[in-house]
Amino acid sequence: MSQNNKPSVVFESEEFQPSRRTFQTKTPKMVRWVINHSGGRVKDEKQANCVLLGVVVVVVATSLFLVCGGNTRQIERNINPETGKEIIPGQVPGEI
């Protein structure tokens, strides 16, 4: 096929019309909420994303602390000084 030949297939349709939607990315609602409710401290989308990431880190760290290390309280035990055994509440002395 030579370069001067026109294509033999011709489409008889209307010219291509791109959709009317714009393909701009919208700012997510959470990011807009942070910007609107920050009292002017967060000025753009990048700062709002950093704030949201910080919130996620704090929530995950708090959850891990509560699940893994939150119950380090010592249980108070009453020990009988004569026998060295634990006194269980409601137990009659001398009975097992």
List the structure tokens of 78: 């009453």
| Confidence band for 22, pLDDT divided at 50, 70 and 90 | low
63 is in which domain, residue-wise?
Answer: 29-67
Average pLDDT of 75-86?
81
Asked whether residue 78 is assigned to any structural domain, the reply reads no
46 with 54: CB under 8 angstroms? no
User: Could you tell me the pTM of the whole model?
Assistant: 0.51
77 with 86: CB under 8 angstroms? yes
CA 4 and chain centroid, separation = 60
pLDDT in tens, 26-76: 899 999 999 999 999 999 999 999 999 999 999 999 999 888 876 666 677
Identity of the amino acid at 12: E
Asked whether residue 5 is assigned to any structural domain, the reply reads no
Could you give the number of structural domains in the chain? Answer: 1
| Confidence band for 23, pLDDT divided at 50, 70 and 90 | low
Question: Is residue 1 predicted with pLDDT exceeding 60?
Answer: no
List the structure tokens of 69: 């290390």
Asked whether residue 90 is assigned to any structural domain, the reply reads no
